[in-house]
């Protein structure tokens, strides 16, 4: 758990002192959303919420933290005294962790003092961005494997100890069946699994002896790594010799490929196992796999039973980060909400103003057809016809009579305390897999996925256009 409030960008603390001097009790609403799908994909998996909530409700500045800030010589003593008692006492809404999510829609909404909202920004973005990236990557891999067994093998390539644990957690949500990270297994309650390294085999005089010794130690979970010397001429033949002894005792076994032409080798290994009467013996493969390689192998009929994926799963592969941002959406003056927005020369960076709810709209068969952003708590209503406007507030729109819809943002923290017990990691994973089923396969394909519609209501569009026009008028006056 990381509950030091120093885990934030330095400017959050310098701004906090400014807010403190200006008006300690001014409240605001911030929203976290992301701008585009990673991996050129059609969906993302929202992950990291459980980790974030546990940290936020426990966040504080320790005495050492205060002394460190004092050393800068720019923070007033009274402000530092205030930080000594700092806790997050605001409210937080979020989608269910594991939900399938899309660009431009709020995943998290935070209401609190400007100081509270600002100080948790770094923690929020760091936690959600990394875990959502890894959960999304893993889900792509899991779907490419036709929902088969995918093991997370990324400990040694992850970004540091915390990155490794966070990646294991996110990978499990995304579809991984277990992890090679033993500590993650203990802390997170997920299956810890693995086979053997080449060093085990090389520490013996010969391959057969290495396999024999391992089988004697672990007869219930023997998986032999067969590519240390020669996969087809040596490895698989020795594995068959030892494997037959296991099957004679009523035990099964597997072999693992970690190099070479996976399709060719797995096909030949399967043939040799079957010819030896070992049809139940299974094949697992690794070797710098990703969703594209796995999808090709599956389509070509490679006889692989499970997949071990490391580097390209826990680092995000070609995608360096999840593009989540955290922006001010409204200022609160008593019970009055004052919507605000960022207007940018880059249209994709212009935000949607106001305090918003996200509604998932489904057809009569239970398939999601669009998400709708609303600033009115009472809309949309089932059975009514609505105009769905593109979130950029341009001319693109469509009409639809809503059959089924429900809100996605739910209150998770109220006045600094959790509103309910957090779901288990297995429950989060189950939700992710159930949510995926409500989307057509065209959104989930790797190549040229269909773009899911994220729309805004007529009221939100009108508000957005009104604020843009005010900005243009103000700019014209200054010129």
DSSP string, 53-118: HHHHTT-B--HHHHHHHHTTS-S-HHHHHHHHT----SEEEEPPTT-EE-TTS-SEEEEEEHHHHH
pLDDT digits (tens, 9 = 90+) for 125-145: 999 999 999 999 999 999 999
Amino acid 472: pLDDT: 82
Q: Which band of pLDDT confidence, cut at 50, 70 and 90, is reported for residue 46?
A: very high
What is the percent of the chain with per-residue pLDDT over 70, rounded to a whole number?
99
Q: Are 50 and 428 in contact (CB under 8 A)?
A: yes
pLDDT digits (tens, 9 = 90+) for 182-200: 999 999 999 999 889 999 9
d(CA 74, CA 398): 54
Count other C-beta atoms under 10 Å from residue 451's C-beta.
12
Amino acid 479: pLDDT: 65
Amino acid 406: pLDDT: 96
Amino acid 49: pLDDT: 98
Q: How many residues does the chain have?
A: 479
Amino acid 393: pLDDT: 74
Q: Which band of pLDDT confidence, cut at 50, 70 and 90, is reported for residue 1?
A: low
pLDDT digits (tens, 9 = 90+) for 380-418: 999 999 999 999 878 899 999 999 999 999 999 999 999
Amino acid 458: pLDDT: 94
pLDDT digits (tens, 9 = 90+) for 437-473: 999 999 999 999 999 999 999 999 999 999 998 888 7
Amino acid 450: pLDDT: 97
d(CA 174, CA 143): 10
pLDDT digits (tens, 9 = 90+) for 254-310: 999 999 999 999 999 999 999 999 999 999 999 999 999 999 999 999 999 999 999
Q: Which band of pLDDT confidence, cut at 50, 70 and 90, is reported for residue 4?
A: very high
Q: Is the pLDDT of residue 345 over 90?
A: no
Sign for the CA dihedral angle at 18, 333, 419, 341 comes to: negative
Amino acid 344: pLDDT: 82
Close Cβ partners of 237 (under 8 Å, ≥ 6 residues apart): 272
Amino acid 274: pLDDT: 98
d(CA 66, CA 3): 14
Amino acid 347: pLDDT: 74
């Amino acid at each position: 758990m990381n509950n030091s409030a120093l885990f934030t960008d330095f400017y959050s603390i310098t701004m906090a002192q400014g807010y403190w001097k200006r008006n300690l009790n001014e409240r605001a609403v911030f929203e976290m959303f992301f701008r585009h799908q990673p991996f050129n994909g059609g969906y993302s998996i929202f992950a990291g919420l459980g980790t974030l909530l546990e940290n936020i409700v426990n966040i504080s500045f320790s005495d050492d933290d205060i002394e460190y800030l004092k050393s800068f010589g720019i923070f007033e003593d009274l402000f530092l005294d205030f930080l000594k008692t700092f806790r997050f006492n605001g409210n937080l809404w979020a989608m269910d962790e594991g939900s399938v999510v899309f660009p431009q829609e709020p995943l998290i909404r935070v209401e609190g003092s400007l100081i509270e909202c600002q100080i948790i920004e770094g923690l929020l973005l760091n936690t959600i961005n990394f875990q959502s990236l890894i959960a999304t990557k893993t889900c792509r891999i899991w779907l490419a494997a036709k929902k088969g067994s995918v093991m997370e093998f990324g400990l040694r390539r992850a970004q540091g100890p915390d990155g490794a644990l966070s990646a294991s957690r996110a990978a499990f949500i995304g579809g991984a069946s277990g992890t090679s990270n033993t500590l993650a297994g203990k802390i997170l309650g997920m299956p810890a699994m693995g086979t053997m390294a080449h060093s085990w085999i090389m520490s013996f005089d010969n391959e057969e002896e290495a396999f024999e010794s391992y089988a004697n130690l672990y007869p219930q979970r023997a998986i032999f790594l067969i590519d240390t010397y020669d996969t087809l001429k040596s490895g698989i033949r020795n594995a068959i010799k030892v494997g037959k002894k296991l099957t004679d005792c009523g035990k099964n076994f597997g072999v693992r490929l970690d190099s070479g032409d996976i399709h060719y080798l797995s096909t030949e290994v399967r043939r040799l196992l079957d010819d030896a009467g070992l049809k139940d013996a299974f094949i697992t493969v690794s070797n710098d796999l990703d969703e594209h390689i796995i999808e090709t192998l599956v389509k070509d009929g490679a006889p692989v039973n499970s997949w071990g994926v490391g580097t390209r799963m826990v680092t995000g592969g070609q995608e360096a980060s999840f593009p989540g941002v955290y922006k001010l959406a409204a200022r609160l003056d008593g019970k009055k909400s004052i919507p605000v927005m960022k207007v940018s020369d880059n249209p994709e960076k212009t935000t949607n103003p106001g305090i918003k709810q996200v509604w998932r709209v489904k057809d009569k068969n239970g398939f999601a057809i669009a998400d709708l952003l609303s600033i009115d708590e009472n809309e949309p209503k089932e059975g009514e016809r609505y105009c769905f406007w593109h979130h950029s507030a341009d001319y693109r729109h469509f009409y639809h009579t809503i059959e089924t819809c429900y809100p996605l943002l739910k209150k998770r923290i109220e006045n600094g305390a959790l509103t309910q017990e957090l779901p288990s990691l297995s429950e989060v994973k189950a939700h992710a897999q159930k949510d995926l089923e409500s989307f057509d396969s065209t959104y989930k394909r790797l190549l040229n996925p269909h773009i899911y519609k994220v729309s805004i209501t007529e009221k939100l569009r009108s508000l957005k256009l009104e604020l843009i026009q005010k900005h243009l008028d103000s700019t014209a006056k200054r010129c």
